[in-house]
Amino acid sequence: MAELLALESVWAGYGDAVVLEDISFSLEVGGSLALLGRNGMGKTTLLATLMGATQLKSGRMSFDGRDLAVVTSHRRAGLGLGWVPQERDIFPSLTVEENLTVVARSGSWNLERTYEMFPRLAERKGNMGNQLSGGEQQMLALARALMLNPKLLLLDEPLEGLAPLIVQDLLRIIGRMVAAGDMAIILVEQHAHQILPLTRQALVLERGRVVYGGDSDSLRDDRSQLDKWLGVGTH
């Protein structure tokens, strides 16, 4: 597979504060990456850096053959970067269907395919965004990002604070998206055991630096390192 995203010795942060130090990794077209680490280790900052919401201090970022650093933040979605932030940011006064169609770009992800992936949203397509449960709002945020037909989808803790049944629904959906292979996915999550089985690559951050970069299966099988970096021994 061709390379879609590559970071080389990236240092980035906010104002004078450096959060990410010497970050290097690559992701192929249709690839999947679990981005792991304890709270405050730089995971969300890395996604924000890809979207142009931080200050790039040094290093190189290329996306689909282009230098990402020279592309302004508001134009990165047009290049094919989709982002589902923790805040979800759905439009509360629009219906489910209006939320989906207002951002739609041409491509394989259309209303029919999106409703097939999210039947719960199809049932509620006439409901306003603020009439949905937290889990349904998360589904809507994810579905809306798909309607942009991104080449790379960034998911920032999409399972956080959701009921177990909704978590299982979303894990199945994300697994189907990864298996389809028509876009790359970077998935930030606290619970490694939930997403390592879904992804092919993993990256672990510790204090803004990469302490592991490799395949997900190897990391999943290394209980001592998982416990050291993520404290998963009790999960």
pLDDT in tens, 73-122: 989 988 999 999 888 889 999 999 999 999 899 999 999 999 999 999 99
Of 118, 114, 122, which Cα lies nearest the Cα of 96?
A: 122
The Cα 173–Cα 179 span in angstroms is 10
Q: How confident is the model at residue 14 (pLDDT cuts 50, 70, 90)?
A: very high
The Cα 231–Cα 46 span in angstroms is 21
The rounded mean pLDDT for the chain is 93
- pLDDT tens for 145-183 read 999 999 999 999 999 989 999 999 999 999 999 998 889
- pLDDT tens for 33-76 read 999 999 999 999 999 999 999 999 999 999 999 999 999 998 99
- Residues 61 and 68: beta-carbon distance below 8 Å: yes
Q: How confident is the model at residue 10 (pLDDT cuts 50, 70, 90)?
A: very high
Indicate the domain borders of the chain.
Answer: 3-80+151-230, 91-149
Looking at this protein, which amino acid is placed at residue 125?
A: K
Both structure tokens of 206? 């510790």
Can you give the pTM of this predicted structure?
Answer: 0.93
Architecture of domain 3-80+151-230: 3-Layer(aba) Sandwich (3.40)
pLDDT of residue 235: 41
* Enclosing H/E stretch for 30: none
- Residues 201 and 34: beta-carbon distance below 8 Å: yes
| Angle, helices 134-146/164-180, rounded to nearest 10 degrees | 10
SS3 159: coil
Q: Would strands 55-63 and 66-67 be described as parallel, antiparallel, or unpaired? A: antiparallel
- Residues 141 and 88: beta-carbon distance below 8 Å: yes
pLDDT of residue 161: 87
Asked if the model's pLDDT at residue 234 lies above 50, the reply is: no
